[in-house]
Amino acid sequence: MNGNLKLAIQKKGRLTEKSLELLRHCGLDIENYSERLIVSVRNFPLDILFLRDDDIPEYVQDGVADIGIVGENVIYEKQTQTTMLEKLGFGRCSLMLAYPENKELKKIEDINGRIIATTYPRILKDYLGSNNLNAKIIELSGSVEIAPSLGVADLICDIVSTGNTLMMNKLKKSFKVFDSEAVLISAASSLSDEKKNDMLNDLLRRIRSVLTARSSKYLMMNVPKNSLEKIINIIPSLKSPTVLHLADANMLAVHAVIPSNKFWSIIEDLKAAGASGILLLPIENMIQ
Ligand code: ATP
Ligand code: ZN
Q: What pLDDT score was predicted for residue 244?
A: 97
User: What is this structure's pTM?
Assistant: 0.89
Residue-wise pLDDT for 97-124, tens only, equals 999 999 989 999 999 999 999 999 999 9
**Ligand 1, pocket residues at CB < 6 Å:** 10, 13-15, 52-54, 71, 73-74, 91, 93, 159, 161, 180
**217-223 mean pLDDT:** 96
User: 228 C-alpha to center of ligand 1: Å?
Assistant: 48
Residue-wise pLDDT for 131-181, tens only, equals 999 999 999 999 999 999 999 999 999 998 778 889 999 999 999 999 999
Ion ligand 2 contact residues with beta carbon within 5 A: 53-54
HSE-up of 68 (CA within 13 Å, CB side)? Answer: 33
Q: What pLDDT score was predicted for residue 42?
A: 95
Torsion of CA 130, 160, 87, 21, to 10 degrees: 170
User: 241 C-alpha to center of ligand 2: Å?
Assistant: 46
Among all bound ligands, the one having the nearest atom to the CA of 18 is 1
Torsion of CA 164, 167, 172, 177, to 10 degrees: -30
User: 98 C-alpha to center of ligand 1: Å?
Assistant: 18
Atom number of ligand 1 nearest to Cα 180: 20
The residue whose CB lies within 8 Å of the most ligand 1 atoms, and thus the one to mutate among 58, 159, 162, 179, is 159
Q: What pLDDT score was predicted for residue 286?
A: 84
Q: What pLDDT score was predicted for residue 39?
A: 95
Atom number of ligand 1 nearest to Cα 74: 18
Q: Which residue's C-alpha comes closest to atom 7 of ligand 1? A: 53
User: 48 C-alpha to center of ligand 1: Å?
Assistant: 19
Indicate the pLDDT class of residue 242, thresholds 50, 70 and 90.
very high
Atom number of ligand 1 nearest to Cα 91: 23
User: 14 C-alpha to center of ligand 1: Å?
Assistant: 5
Domains of the chain: 5-90+182-213 (3.40.190.10), 93-180 (3.40.190.10), 216-282 (3.30.70.120)
| 38-47, 207-216, 232-241: range with lowest mean pLDDT | 232-241
Percent of the chain residues topping a pLDDT of 90: 89
